A and B are shown apart, each in its own frame.
Chain A
Amino acid sequence: ETGVTQSPTHLIKTRGQQVTLRCSSQSGHNTVSWYQQALGQGPQFIFQYYREEENGRGNFPPRFSGLQFPNYSSELNVNALELDDSALYLCASSLERGGEKKQYFGPGTRLTVT
């Protein structure tokens, strides 16, 4: 139990649609990161938000966007869904303590695009 929750657990969408995934961070963590984990792969970094601003982005197109709210909850939005967007989407809230970066992952949202 990491204290990070995600919703929904599972989602099925059609190609071309838009989707919003939600994450509630662990209390006191002001940084949240989003990852895409395709089947049989490790998580791929999408972007990170710190105090409501994006402060790092991986190799994902602009149709992947996000928001972080004052209560540190966050959203991942994906527009114009493609079949290859089918994956487990993970959020992780983090805290840097004593130089060690500790990320606490949620259970993920499994998105299927048909």
Chain B
Amino acid sequence: TQLLEQSPQFLSIQEGENLTVYCNSSSVFSSLQWYRQEPGEGPVLLVTVVTGGEVKKLKRLTFQFGDARKDSSLHITAAQPGDTGLYLCAGWNRDDKIIFGKGTRLHILP
């Protein structure tokens, strides 16, 4: 069974601080996606990474796909209260099926 482990499960930090959340697996994925989900809403796609070692930036968010395509990280610089939410990673496997991690619940304190 393929699993995606996300860490930490919960993170509460002050506005302006930097943070990194992780998504790890023992399995290889053809691509990996990061979503953000807010209460009462469905997940919203932030980024897709496909190539091992790939780095993508979205304003203050930096996403990296591991060289072996088994893990990924999301780094947020100078966190803001608007970054609060549930961050989910999701991997697409060779059978074209998607597997989600349990998420990291991030809370930015003003």
Residues on A lying within 8 angstroms of B by beta carbon are 2, 4, 33, 35, 40-45, 56, 58, 90, 92, 99-108
Contacts and interface: CB of A to CB of B under 8 A. Distances in A.
A106 B37 CA distance: 11
B45 interface: yes
Contacts of B98: 33, 45, 101, 103
Contacts, number: 55
Given A2-B44, A4-B42, A41 B102 contact: yes
Which 5 pairs of residues, A with B, have the shortest CB-CB distance? A105-B42, A42-B100, A42-B102, A43-B100, A100-B48
Q: Is the interface of A mostly helix, strand, loop or mixed?
A: strand
A43 B102 CA distance: 8
Given A4-B42, A58-B97, A107-B42, A40 B48 contact: no
